[in-house]
């Protein structure tokens, strides 16, 4: 498949924004349960929400670049009964609303407890918004992943591993950003968020390895024989019927060389799963606010490469027919 960079930015940016918001809510729950020191509402939760919202907005803006008619974008929500894309279009603004309200409640200090759970956890408006936003975040992970996992004829994507990978990559990058944000703002939560980031990164590495192994051993149901309806053991395409390119060759062929694909493959394995963990480990020893930030930047670049490879490794059945231009 041809990897559209607007889609790469969309899926990775909103994944980070979702993960960061989930990290903020997780930290708040831990602090309310007296497992972490409470943090400043404005300096940490409000600013963190603003950062999460910035990534979500950036992802939303990136989505407009792969639309043929951006002025008709509102129509993409019309088929919510049958389309996972329409559901994503609905859930994303809903999540952005929860994130914005969550940040505003903290910014204006509207955190007076409404009631207490078992005399331990004091529930206020921000926690309620945080839980609702967390549900929306996981729903958005599900909708985004199902856009690809629901396509049965692209067998590399049609797997529960696609859903697991999208969720774990978002969580690992979001918690990695939370560790970077904590280090940069001087909040003593780098160890907490960094530990969770390493756990999610390890889990994402296992799930992605399983999907890579599955796709490598995949035996496609469609063949050149079924593509053209001719039952013969030896078939070789000489031409697709015209001399130039077409929509089919531009949109469903990635056009990258085998060497480029191998290079991107090796880079994303190193940048997503190895270097960020090493950088976080070094930050524990050196107490540097820059290393967690560097870890996030490196991992995000690796995630972009991973998402590029995610599209490249997918084989559309139409490619069996449109193999050459002349």
Question: Which domains, ranges and CATH numbers included, belong to the chain?
Answer: 5-320 (1.20.1630.10)
- Is the pLDDT at 2 greater than 80? The verdict is no
DSSP 231-277: --S-------SSSS--HHHHHH-----HHHHHHHHHHHHHHHHTHHH
Which pTM does this prediction carry?
Answer: 0.91
- Which pLDDT score is estimated for 104? 96
- Which pLDDT score is estimated for 34? 84
Residue 71's φ and ψ, nearest 5 degrees, are -70, -15
Average pLDDT over residues 133-152: 96
- Which pLDDT score is estimated for 116? 81
Average pLDDT over residues 11-26: 97
pLDDT digits (tens, 9 = 90+) for 171-210: 999 999 999 999 999 899 999 999 999 999 999 999 999 9
Contacting residues for 255 by C-beta, under 8 A, at least 6 apart:
2
Average pLDDT over residues 275-291: 91
Q: Which residue has the higher pLDDT, 299 or 120?
A: 299
- Which pLDDT score is estimated for 289? 86
Quote the percentage of the chain above a pLDDT of 90.
Answer: 60
Query: Please, are residues 320 and 5 in contact by the beta-carbon 8 Å criterion?
Result: no
CA trace torsion 249, 265, 52, 122 (10° rounding)? 130
Cα 186 to the center of its chain, rounded Å:
27
CA distance 307 to 5: 9
pLDDT digits (tens, 9 = 90+) for 154-164: 899 999 999 99
Confidence bin at 287 (pLDDT 50/70/90)? confident
């Amino acid at each position: 498949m041809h990897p559209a960079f607007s889609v790469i930015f969309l899926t990775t940016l909103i994944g980070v924004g979702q993960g960061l918001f989930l990290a903020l809510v997780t930290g708040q729950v831990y602090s309310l349960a007296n497992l972490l020191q409470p943090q400043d509402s404005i300096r940490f939760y409000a600013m963190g929400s603003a950062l999460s919202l910035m990534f979500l907005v950036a992802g939303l803006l990136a989505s407009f670049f792969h639309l043929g008619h951006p002025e008709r974008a509102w129509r993409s929500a019309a088929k919510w009964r049958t389309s996972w894309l329409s559901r994503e279009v609905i859930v994303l603004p809903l999540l952005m609303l929860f994130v914005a309200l969550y940040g505003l409640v903290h910014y204006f200090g509207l955190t007076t407890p409404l009631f207490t759970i078992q005399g331990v956890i004091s529930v206020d408006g921000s926690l309620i918004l945080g839980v609702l936003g967390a549900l929306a975040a996981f729903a958005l992970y599900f909708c985004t992943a199902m856009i690809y996992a629901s396509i049965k004829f692209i067998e590399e994507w049609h797997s529960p591993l696609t859903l697991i990978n999208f969720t774990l990559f978002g969580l690992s990058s979001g918690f990695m950003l939370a560790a970077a944000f904590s280090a940069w703002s001087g909040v003593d939560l780098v160890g907490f968020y960094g530990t969770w980031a390493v756990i999610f990164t390890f889990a994402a590495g296992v799930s992605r390895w399983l999907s890579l192994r599955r796709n490598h051993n995949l035996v496609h149901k469609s063949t050149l024989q079924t593509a053209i309806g001719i039952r013969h053991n030896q078939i070789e395409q000489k031409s697709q019927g015209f001399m130039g390119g077409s929509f089919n060759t531009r949109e469903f062929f990635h056009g990258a060389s085998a060497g480029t694909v191998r290079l991107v493959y090796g880079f994303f394995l190193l940048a997503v799963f190895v270097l960020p963990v090493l950088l976080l480990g070094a930050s524990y020893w050196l107490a540097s606010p820059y290393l967690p930030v560097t870890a996030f930047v490196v991992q995000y670049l690796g995630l972009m490469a991973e998402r590029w490879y995610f599209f490249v490794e997918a084989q559309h059945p139409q490619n069996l027919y449109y193999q050459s231009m002349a």
